[in-house]
Amino acid sequence: MVCLGNICRSPLAEGILKDKVKKNNLDVQVDSCGFEYDHLGCQPDYRAIEVASHYNVDITDQKARLFSPANFDLYDKILVMDKNNYRMVAEKARSESDLEKVDLIMNVVKPGSNLQVPDPYFGRKENFHETWRMLDQATDKIIELLKTRAWA
């Protein structure tokens, strides 16, 4: 899961998916990262923590980290929140094989739509709830794909 600062959207996506993976007894590794040095090593934004807690998901143990080309070796899928994140990840791709792993997370729900998950950072708490709803929908679909082995 990738967003810009790794303190709002991608930590929420990581937390939601990890929770669902655990509840479904799946053997899946989930992580998140970003591209800004400003928040490196920091917990997610307090509003993201509060919204996750509201839905009984604890993301307080997460720490912002930077995207690395090594992620292409570690993960089968790299899901980004918006087109800018896609471009930044694509610039780090070392091959066509790397690039094939990258997609906008909402394309899982509506393939080819290229819907973006808006960054709630400069918004109100309700924006974080909207982000949660979008990511909850996407992670439901990811779990469905993983359980039916339609997504390796």
pLDDT tens by residue, 67-91: 999 999 999 999 999 999 999 999 9
pLDDT at res. 134: 98
- Tell me the whole-structure pTM to 2 decimals: 0.96
Are 64 and 5 contacting, i.e. CB atoms less than 8 angstroms apart? yes
Asked, for residue 2, whether it belongs to a domain, the answer is no
pLDDT tens by residue, 116-152: 999 999 999 999 999 999 999 999 999 999 999 877 5
Asked, for residue 38, whether it belongs to a domain, the answer is yes
Alpha carbon distance 54, 64 (integer Å): 21
Q: Biggest alpha carbon distance in the chain?
A: 41
Cα-based distances in Å from 97 to 12, 79, 94, 100, 137: 27, 15, 8, 5, 27
122 is in which domain, residue-wise?
A: 9-147
CATH for 27: 3.40.50.2300
Asked, for residue 58, whether it belongs to a domain, the answer is yes
**Torsion sign (Cα): 29, 30, 36, 38:** negative
Q: Could you identify the residue written with the tokens 């949660």?
A: 132
If one counts the domains in the chain, the total is: 1
Asked, for residue 95, whether it belongs to a domain, the answer is yes
Asked, for residue 106, whether it belongs to a domain, the answer is yes
Asked, for residue 1, whether it belongs to a domain, the answer is no
What residues are annotated to the active site?
3, 9, 119
pLDDT tens by residue, 94-118: 999 999 999 999 999 999 999 999 9
